[in-house]
Structure formats: structure tokens, C-alpha cells
Amino acid sequence: MPASAYESLCAHARETALLTSTAGLLQWDEETYLPPAGGAYRAEQCALLAGLIHQRQTDPRVGEWLDELESSGSTSDPRSDAAANVRGLRRDYDKKTKLPPKLVEELSRTASLGQQAWKEARQADDFTLFQPMLEKTIELKQQEAEAIGYEASPYDALLDDYEPGETAANVARVLGGLREQLAPLVEKIAAAEKRPDGRVLSRHYPVARQEAFGKRAAAAIGFDFDAGRLDVTAHPFCGGAGPRDVRITTRYDDHEFAGALFGTLHEAGHGLYEQGLPAGDYGLPLGEAVSLGIHESQSRMWENLVGRSQAFWRHFFAPFAEAFPDALAGVTEEAFYFAVNESKPSLIRTESDEATYNLHIIVRFELEQALLADDLLVADLPEAWNAKYREYLGIVPPNAADGVLQDVHWSAGLFGYFPTYTLGNLYASQFFDQAGSDLGDLEGQFSRGDFQPLRDWLRTNIHRDGRRYSAGQLVERVTGKPLSHEPLMAHLSTKYGRLYGFD
Amino acid sequence: MPASAYESLCAHARETALLTSTAGLLQWDEETYLPPAGGAYRAEQCALLAGLIHQRQTDPRVGEWLDELESSGSTSDPRSDAAANVRGLRRDYDKKTKLPPKLVEELSRTASLGQQAWKEARQADDFTLFQPMLEKTIELKQQEAEAIGYEASPYDALLDDYEPGETAANVARVLGGLREQLAPLVEKIAAAEKRPDGRVLSRHYPVARQEAFGKRAAAAIGFDFDAGRLDVTAHPFCGGAGPRDVRITTRYDDHEFAGALFGTLHEAGHGLYEQGLPAGDYGLPLGEAVSLGIHESQSRMWENLVGRSQAFWRHFFAPFAEAFPDALAGVTEEAFYFAVNESKPSLIRTESDEATYNLHIIVRFELEQALLADDLLVADLPEAWNAKYREYLGIVPPNAADGVLQDVHWSAGLFGYFPTYTLGNLYASQFFDQAGSDLGDLEGQFSRGDFQPLRDWLRTNIHRDGRRYSAGQLVERVTGKPLSHEPLMAHLSTKYGRLYGFD
């Protein structure tokens, strides 16, 4: 094996990671502590680093090293670490070099203008202000798909950016199966007579105590504050500046604790994944996350399957009620658990609940596929949007701002991104079922405040392999089955059936 | 004029500044918010950026652009902006390229090992543990001076790193003059019968209120929090990540407010200079500070000449006493003002006062010159140190840790750095006198809480020129006279004479 080519390739990738992680710090700082007047210069710093990073990622030497390694047969054992790294780096290199620079530039400019147009359109509640830029964006994304190449549909090429190796057909199969069963369940929940009292959620929860409790919960599930931080930003995220430097954020509202607390658990779930990746392989495929969907499976699992579970609150309700004695005076654990799991059809994706959320995603997934396949004209998008909301959720947005214009994604050119959210929920449930089989009484463990078995299971089965496997391979490997809508559907049916009294 | 060479040169310098300012953020973050486990990777990020920056600074194209500009006569008008930038960039380029890479490496390694040896020696209170590394350091600094070149003494070449264009002879002239008059003044203060009651300084000052008051004071003197921040670090500093992103730090002790408050004013003074430099020239000599001494003149002016003045407390004592009613119960403004200006010979430079501080510096300046000139053997340094402390301050360190081993500077190879502290005090007094002549009743203005006239004067006379002039030129230009010990000496004599009752 020509060690020098492999060593050069890895050293190059690791050095690039020093720059991408530095860019990560610039971005984190921009969201947290950058003085207002520093924004313009920060943009220049980010642009320079992005340029240096792109230069390194498309360095022809990378292609030469890869060619040499592939032709020498040194990566013929696909199970070897080297083969996994070479596969991953080959994919990245091809992705970065396949697009003509002119198209990259135009995509970037259009994304910037598109977001401006989208903001204006949303403010004016007028889709037509955004329509020309969206048409342009779709045209460019179609060109991008052609340049990247695909087997079955252009959508595959775009999906691959976020979910490497995944296909539109397979996602359609699973999301389709989910939709068929979820829409009736959501209808059933909406029609149930038993309802939670959601008013408890909007009582007064002093922010300092929310912060203390959120940190306690994040630490309890295993987020390592020696190798990470929790700060406040307008838009919560999980970022970082290195393998042992994972930075999550949340935002507080003293009359709404759920957003901050479940948001913290969500980002801590992302953070646990980042902290669980092999630090020694940072910058190499073996030290990187599999896909957005797998990343989201980790955040959704800790937020929903753990954080919104009855067992979690069996452990945490008492200290929570102690931290907020006024807000929770006279509230039972059962009533509280029901309140944090209220479900009902609503207009806004980001404010929806564990069950309805997925229908919001399915609407978007179906529409963006149709747009890219030229089966739907942009001019007809608002109507199609509203029709799908009526069909799947039983409600119709009263305006474009709360309907087709609510998300930034399409304006930024992010086509193929939406399904990763629901894929996250699907992976999460399938993994969680397997963890339950392997570990026994998860509920009992959570009730005792013991989250270590699950965390260790995730480390062993998901985190430590980096992106050695694709998401599909990983699911099959860990659970013995291909991805299916059934575990999530079973979870939601059981949970909401019990809560709303129709099980 | 060959615009393209000048434009290329400036664009190159500006782009380098994007990287140096990014490195500035990495360093600031390391001191403020970096999770403990992130330290090792941060060092790698800093090393990579340092390498990229060095590469750019020594890029042969810079030399070619400079040659072209200089030979074309396009910078023949020395007063033009272009000439100032070319002069500054020529200096920087020569500084960076004159040293053989092997010497640079050895200096860097020795600085790292030297600091380790110094720490051990200080902990063990045993100078001999540090002696070999200090001998090696001096040998290398002598080689560095030879490689850089100098007219009169090797010390000039090292001093030039911090105080461009300054000479040992001139500094010796001014510091010598100061010493002759300051040592007797310090003796007189020590012998005075009237003494302040310093106990008020160590009462209980809740940290949150110290922080609020410190921010208020920094804002009052003009530090722009829209273009800067104040955070907490173990070792206070003024750093930054861009032209409109100046980050100062302090540290709090709830039984000692003076360190944090005067430290904040000190760093805010540095910050005001950074915020006053022309943002549009960031990365070019016209957007950069003149020298360490001039930088220090700004911090010392706001810390001492303003912050420790009677007029400052005439304005701020009432709100201060209101913020700390328990600590200041029964304390008069006069007694408080005296307490924050207590002066007495002491062992530790960083804990000394406005008057004695300069004698600590003069000791070091004289000793480091003798070491570099081989007039003093490292083995004899502890004895020489103690002798000078006895002669100038009337005290003798009881051990090496509180004597010759107290400062990190020499172990890190920083020879020629110490005098810039006292040069800062000297420049500050000479500028301040001129500002007083130009602006009239500064005391009256401070008493009314009006610091804008002084700040604007500094902007106009010092900040906005960047490093168009050397420190020496600037002083002559602004005050009409070469640097002298007299303004500082007059200030200290008057101030302490009044306080201690011998004026």
C-alpha cells in the first residue's frame, strides 16, 4: 500500500479541518458575542476562509492521491479504515469538483438574492415577489443535478448532499407509508375529547432557573461541558470549533419554558453525536457524521423519545417543580406530561408537535420533488401548498406568510434538505426500538435518571463509526432491517393513544 | 505612479489582516469561552494560521512590489498616505525576512522551553533552574540583533520590535532623567507622615455591581460597546477580531475592586485607541498603532491621569458610593481618593503604584541592556537585581520568586519590551499636558463627567494617523518637544506632594 499517498491525503484533510473548524468558531461567535458593528468585517473573514477551504477541497493533488490509491488496489478491502476514508474523501472531492465554477457562483448569488426576495415577500405576504427568484433557483438546481449526475431522478442528486447514497424513491416509499397512517392518527388526536391544559406551559418561568435546569438536563443525558458549551442565540444550533469543542445554543422566554428546554435537549442530542465521534479522526470521514438525517435522529431521540417521555418526567418532574414552585403549584406530573405533549394540526412547521411535524415535512418533500421534475409550476405552488395542508392536516393557511413562505430553505437553494428532518424521526424510532431490545428496560432507567446505557449504546452503535457506513447501511446493520415507517408510527400511535385516551 | 503594485500590496496586506484578526478571535476565545478539553486543538488551529500568516508576510511578491514602488519614485513625497503605507510595509517585510528561518525556529523553541524552565524555577524559588535557558535566550537574542542590524547597540535592534525607530541611547536619556528625580520622590512619599487608610479598598464589593460600574465607566470615557466587548479573563488584555470589534477583558475579586476598575479603564484606554484608528485602513500601516509605548500611553492616560485623578472621583464617587453603600459607609471622597492613590515601595511590579512602577521598569531596562551587552553575566543577575532594588526602591526581595523571577518576559525572549511600559507613562503625561493646554480646564470637564473633549483630542492628534509617524515624531509633532521625563515628573510631584502633604 502506497502509504505516502494515503498519509498525504489524510494530512491534507486534517489541515483543511483546522480551517473549517476555525470558520465554525467565526460563525458561532457571530451568533453569540460579536459586537453589532463587527458584522461586515466578519463576513469578509468568513468569505476568505471559505475561499481557502474551497481551494484545498478542490486541490488537484487530492484527485491524484485518490486515483493512486484506487488504482493501486490498496483500498480493495472495503471494511478497512483506509477504504472508508478514501470512499468518503472521493465522494467529497467529486462533489466539490463536478460543478462548473460559474454555476457555483450563480447558485451562491441566487441564494443570497433569493433570501432577500423571500424576506421581502414574506413581509409583504406576497408570493409573487418571491416567484421569479424561486423559478431561477429551481432552474439552477436542475442544472446542478445534471452536473452532479443521478440514476433515477434529478432530486436524487440534490438529496445526496444531505443524505449520501439515499434516493428519492426510497424516501418516497417510507414517507408515503408514514403519511398513510399518520394523517388518520393526527385526525384522531384532533377529534379526541380528552385534552391537555396547555396553560401551564405559559406561566412565569424565570430565565436563570430555566438555564440552570436546562444545563442540568443536558449534563444528565451526557453532554460533556468540559468539551462543550451552552450559550444563547436567536436561532438555536449545534456548532463547534473542534473535536472536543462542541457548542450548542438555545433561547429563553420567561413565559414559555418548553422551547428552551426541549431545544436544549435537541441540540445536546446533536452535541452528543459530535462528542461521540472519534476525536482522533476529526477531519476524516471516519470522524464525521453520516448524514443530516442520522444527525437529526440523535437530536430527535433525546428531545422526543427521551425528553418528552413519561419516564423522563418521572425522574425530572419533582426537581422541575421545585425549581418553578409558582408556575407548577397544583400541577400533577401526569397533567404536566400531557401538556408538554399536546398535539394538534397547526400552520407553522417549527412550532408543530412530535406527531404533526412529519406531515409538514411530507408536504414539502412532495412539493419540492414536483417542482424539480417540472410537474408543478412555481406559479401554482401556493395553491398546491394549501391543498396539501388541507388534505394532510385538515387546515388551510390564511396567507402566504404563514403558508408557502414560512421556511427559508428553498430561498437559500436547499432542495432535498426537508426530508432529513423526518428521516431523523424515523431513524430515531428504529434505533430506539433496537436499543430497547438490547438494553432492556429503558423506561425504568430513565425513571431513575440513568441515561448512560442509551448514551453508551449510541456511542457504540452509531457515533464511533463516523461515516464508515451510509445511513441506509447503518440502519440495516444496527437494526437488522431497512428503514421503515413502522417504528415511528407504532411509537406515535401508542403514545398519543394513551395520552388522548383512544388506545 | 504604478497603481497596480500599490494596489496589489495593499490588497495583500488587507487580506493578511483578515487572517491575523481571525487568529485574534481564536486567542480571545481561548482566554474567555473555550471549553477546557478544546485547548490542544486550539493550539493546532493557531499554529496553522500563524504559518499561513507568516507565509503571506514573507511572500517574495511583497518585496517585489515594494522594490517597484520605491524605485519608481512614486513614494517620493514622504507625507503622502501611500508613502506612509509603503514605509510601514517595507519595515514589516524586512523585519520578517531578515531572520534566518533556523534562528526563528530556535527562538520559538527556546521561548517555549524558557517559559517552562522559568515556571519551574519560580515555583522552586531557585534561579539556577532558569539560568541555562536565560543564557541560551540571550545568546539567541544577540544573534537576532546581529541579523536585524543596528547602528549603536544590539539592544536597538530588539527595542525596534516594540518601539520602531527608537534607540537605547534615547530611552536611557529619558529614563535616566526620570530615575534621578523619581527615586528621591518615592523616598519622600515613603517617609511622609500623612498616610491613606487603604483598608477601604479591601471591603466587600459585590462582583455584579463592580461589573456594572466598570462598564459604565468604560462607556463614559467613550469605549464603544457597539464595536467592542468587555469579558472576564485570568489575565486582562485588549484584543480583537476586526476594526470594529475590539475586545477588552478584566477580572473581578469581591474584596478588591481597584484591580478590576482601574484595569477596565486601562484596557478601555487601549480599546479607545483601537476604536479610534481609521477602520478603512485596517491591515495597513495607516490603520495600525504606532508602537507599544504609544499604545500604553493611551491605557495609562485613562487609567492613571484620568481614572486616578481627583476630578474623576469628584464625578464618580457619589454613584460609586451608591453602588457600594456598605463598603463606603462613612468614607469621604477625599479619603477614598487618597486610598486609591496610595504609594509605597513594593516588590512586585504588577502590584505597584503610579509612582513606584517606573522604578521597577528602570531596574529591568538597565539590567537587560547590561545582559545583552555582555556587561552582566546571567549568573550575577539575581545579585544585580537585588542591588538595584535596594538602590532605587530601598527594599530587597527576600527571595528570587518575588525578585528576579517575577516576570515572564525574559523567559519568553521579550527583551526590549519593558521600557515601553514607562515610555507609555512618559508619552501619556506629555500628551496630557498638551491636551490640557489645547482644551483648557480638563479637571472641570472630568468633574462634570465630560470626557469627550479629551477623547476627541486623542482621536484627532494620536489615533487617526495610524503609524504615519514614529513615536518620537508623533510626540514632537503633537507637543512641539522631544520626549522628556519632565511632564511625568511634574505630574507625580504635584499629585503626591498634595496627597502626602509635602507640596
Q: Rounded mean pLDDT of chain A?
A: 96
What residues of A are in contact with residue B38 (Cβ under 8 Å)? 227, 241-242, 244-245
Q: Tell me if chain B has a CB within 8 Å of the CB of A50.
A: no
Among the residue ranges A204-213, A342-351, B65-74, the one predicted with the least confidence is B65-74
Chain B interface disruption, residue of A15, A30, A45, most B CBs within 10 A: A45
What is the pLDDT at residue B268? 98
User: Residue-wise pLDDT tens for chain B (503 aa)?
Assistant: 445 999 999 999 999 999 999 999 999 999 999 999 999 999 999 999 999 999 999 999 999 999 999 998 877 788 999 999 999 999 999 999 999 999 999 999 999 999 999 999 999 999 999 999 999 999 999 999 999 999 999 999 999 999 999 999 999 999 999 999 999 999 999 999 999 999 999 999 999 999 999 999 999 999 999 999 999 999 999 999 999 999 999 999 999 999 999 999 999 999 999 999 999 999 999 999 999 999 999 999 999 999 999 999 999 999 999 999 999 999 999 999 999 999 999 999 999 999 999 999 999 999 999 999 999 999 999 999 999 999 999 999 999 999 999 999 999 999 999 999 999 999 999 999 999 999 999 999 999 999 999 999 999 999 999 999 999 999 999 999 999 999 999 999 999 999 999 97
What residues of A are in contact with residue B280 (Cβ under 8 Å)? none
Q: A226, B19: Cβ pair inside 8 Å? A: no
Q: B41, A243: Cβ pair inside 8 Å? A: yes
All three cell numbers of B249, joined, read 477583558
What is the pLDDT at residue A165? 94
The residue-averaged pLDDT of A5-23 equals 97
Residue A91: phi and psi, rounded to 5, are -55, -50
What is the pLDDT at residue A75? 75
Q: A37, B224: Cβ pair inside 8 Å? A: yes
Please write the tens of the pLDDT for every residue from A352-370: 999 999 999 999 999 999 9
Residue B198: phi and psi, rounded to 5, are -75, -5
Q: Tell me if chain A has a CB within 8 Å of the CB of B50.
A: no
**Option in A18, A42, A227 nearest B37 (CB):** A227
Please tell me the total number of residues recorded for chain A in this structure.
Answer: 503
Q: How many Å apart are CA A24 and CA A39, to the nearest integer?
A: 15
ipTM value for the complex: 0.93
The residue-averaged pLDDT of A419-447 equals 98
Q: How many Å apart are CA B449 and CA B343, to the nearest integer?
A: 26
**Option in B19, B35, B244 nearest A41 (CB):** B244
Greatest alpha-carbon span in chain B? 72
**Option in B48, B52, B226 nearest A37 (CB):** B226
**Option in A29, A38, A226 nearest B37 (CB):** A226
All three cell numbers of B268, joined, read 478601555
What is the pLDDT at residue A229? 98
**Option in B34, B48, B231 nearest A245 (CB):** B34
All three cell numbers of A246, joined, read 462542541
Q: How many Å apart are CA B61 and CA B49, to the nearest integer?
A: 20
Closest-CA residue of chain A to B17: A45
Q: A42, B224: Cβ pair inside 8 Å? A: no
What is the pLDDT at residue A3? 58
Q: A38, B227: Cβ pair inside 8 Å? A: yes
Using alpha carbons, list the distances in angstroms from residue B55 to A352, B48, B51, B459. 52, 11, 6, 34
Q: How many Å apart are CA A454 and CA A265, to the nearest integer?
A: 14
Q: pLDDT band at A94, cuts 50/70/90?
A: very high
The alpha carbon of B230 is separated from its chain's Cα centroid by a whole number of angstroms, namely 18
Q: Tell me if chain A has a CB within 8 Å of the CB of B278.
A: no
What is the pLDDT at residue B237? 97
What is the pLDDT at residue B384? 98
What is the pLDDT at residue B75? 75
Q: Tell me if chain A has a CB within 8 Å of the CB of B333.
A: no
Q: A22, B242: Cβ pair inside 8 Å? A: no
B164 — alpha (psi -120 to 50), left (phi > 0) or beta?
Answer: beta
Q: How many Å apart are CA A387 and CA A182, to the nearest integer?
A: 17
In 10 A of CB A285, how many CB atoms?
A: 22
Which contacts of B349-353 are long-range, i.e. CB under 8 A and separated by 24 or more positions? B349/B406, B349/B407
Q: How many Å apart are CA A340 and CA A332, to the nearest integer?
A: 12
Which contacts of B27-34 are long-range, i.e. CB under 8 A and separated by 24 or more positions? B27/B239, B28/B239, B28/B240, B28/B241, B28/B247, B29/A25, B29/A29, B29/A241, B31/B233, B31/B234, B31/B235, B31/B237, B31/B239, B31/B249, B32/B231, B32/B232, B32/B233, B32/B249, B33/A33, B33/A229, B33/A231, B34/A241, B34/A245
Q: Tell me if chain B has a CB within 8 Å of the CB of A31.
A: no
Please write the tens of the pLDDT for every residue from A439-495: 999 999 999 999 999 999 999 999 999 999 999 999 999 999 999 999 999 999 999
Q: Tell me if chain B has a CB within 8 Å of the CB of A49.
A: yes
Q: What percent of chain A has pLDDT over 70?
A: 99
Q: Tell me if chain A has a CB within 8 Å of the CB of B49.
A: yes
The residues facing A229 across adjacent strands are A247
Instruction: Quote the minimal CA–CA distance from A22 to chain B in Å.
Output: 7
Model confidence, pTM: 0.94
Active centre residues of A (catalytic): 267
Q: How many Å apart are CA B410 and CA B403, to the nearest integer?
A: 13
Instruction: Quote the minimal CA–CA distance from B45 to chain A in Å.
Output: 5
What residues of B are in contact with residue A282 (Cβ under 8 Å)? 41
Q: How many Å apart are CA B414 and CA B366, to the nearest integer?
A: 14
**Option in A38, A49, A226 nearest B242 (CB):** A38
Q: Which of B144, B267, B274, B288 is catalytic?
A: B267
Q: Are B426 and B177 in contact (CB under 8 A)?
A: no
State yes or no: is B267 an active-site residue.
yes
What is the pLDDT at residue B74? 75
What is the pLDDT at residue A76? 77
What is the pLDDT at residue B3? 58
What is the pLDDT at residue A428? 98
What residues of A are in contact with residue B33 (Cβ under 8 Å)? 33, 229, 231
What is the pLDDT at residue A456? 98
What is the pLDDT at residue B69? 95
